[in-house]
Amino acid sequence: MANGIRIGIAGAGLGGVAAAGLLERAGFDVVLYDQAPGFSRLGAGIQFGPNVLKILAQLDGLDKELEAISCLPDYWVSRKWDDGTIMAKIPLNAERSRYGAPYITIHRGDLHQRMLERISPERVRWGHKLIDFSDNGREVALTFENGALEIVDILIGADGINSCVREKLFGMDEAVYTGWIAHRAIISGQAAKALGADVNAKWWSDDRHIVCYYLDREESEFYLVTGEPAEWTSRAGQLPSSREALREAFKGFHPLVQGYIDATDVVTKWPLKTRQPLPVWHQGRTVLLGDACHPMKPHMAQGAAMAVEDAAVLALSLAKLGVSDLNHTFGAYYTARKERATKVQSISNANTWLKQPEDPYWCYGDNVYDLSFG
């Protein structure tokens, strides 16, 4: 172990799992805690660009395994909502050699499961909801809802937009509802193919959109996710919805979109929330990553990607700069990540990404392993 340093990570989402895997390989004694009773295959799609696949390659070649099971779109296509006019056609895997890694679309649960498989099972503690912690300057004492008490040398808060760790460090601060919700549904790939679906496309009107793509190499599942203005008064993070609600929200959209909606069965919706950028991501022996410090609307498909990038840079910072001066180490991590994460957050919230022709190389071509730490 790296001088026997024990690192606790609150939150076994994609960012937390990436951090656990990378830190374990760097020699740290890592424990990953999550409030869920166990892994479940949540019904959602996700897109990961070359910027993330380069990081996942460090987890025993996970990039290759994911490439073998994912859909590999050659292009991102933006279409006009009513007549389907192509507004932008952006090369993705069509320019793979330029990016140095693939662009994948996949079921989030399949991705999550394979990432978890890269961590020693004994390091994952399901059913552990962190409710409090205290830092005495030498170690961090963790208190869990199930009564468990743990001691770690460093605590990483990877526990999402409603982060307990963030709240403890910087005070109670409600996430801001953006005035938008997202619907999501999965239809059969067979139904999508029969309709003549694009492999990966976003349909835009002035005030809403729907993104549609396959979730696997065999193209057996096809994912729909929207962004639209709506009221939201529930405290719930997700609610059931319906085909009828989706149809009403996208009334007048192109017949291909109507065909997708007609093929839906289970439809859910959730509120899109955000927060203002934090001026600092750490305090004492505790540090944040991902949505815990820079949540964003999902309109660049980069929220989870930024969490994984955070995890990689944090692991590099700890491995290269050490733990004797955590303020310096965590400060270097923050400095390396702040500008990029804030830029992505801003563009995501504005919902302009790839609507018109542009070169996304600054985002997808990035490689965190090119960073140097002084």
Lay out the sheet containing 286-288: strands in order across: 124-125, 29-33, 6-10, 154-157, 286-288, 282-283
Name the percent of the chain lying above pLDDT 90.
Answer: 93
> What are the DSSP E strand ranges found in the chain?
6-10, 29-33, 45-48, 75-80, 86-91, 104-107, 124-125, 130-135, 140-144, 149-152, 154-157, 176-188, 200-204, 209-214, 221-229, 239-240, 267-274, 282-283, 286-288
Confidence tier at 40 by pLDDT (50, 70, 90): confident
State the average pLDDT over residues 246-254: 98
Q: How far apart are CA 176 and CA 251, in angstroms?
A: 28
Given a contact cutoff of 8 angstroms between Cβ atoms, the answer to whether 16 and 125 are in contact is: no
Name the percent of the chain lying above pLDDT 70.
Answer: 99
State the average pLDDT over residues 273-301: 95
State the average pLDDT over residues 86-94: 98
Grouping H, G, I as helix, E, B as strand and the rest as coil, residue 13 is: coil
pLDDT tens-digit map of 181-218: 999 999 999 999 999 999 999 999 999 999 999 999 99
pLDDT reported for residue 371: 86
pLDDT tens-digit map of 105-162: 999 999 999 999 999 999 999 999 999 999 999 999 999 999 999 999 999 999 999 9
| Mean of the per-residue pLDDT values of the chain | 96
Dihedral class, residue 287 (left if φ above 0, else alpha if ψ from -120 to 50, else beta)? beta
pLDDT tens-digit map of 107-118: 999 999 999 999
**Size of the chain, expressed as the number of residues it contains:** 374
Of 45, 41, 51, the C-alpha closest to 199 is 45
Rounded to 5°, the CA angle 349-14-96 comes to 75
In the predicted structure, residue 315 carries a pLDDT above the cut 90: yes
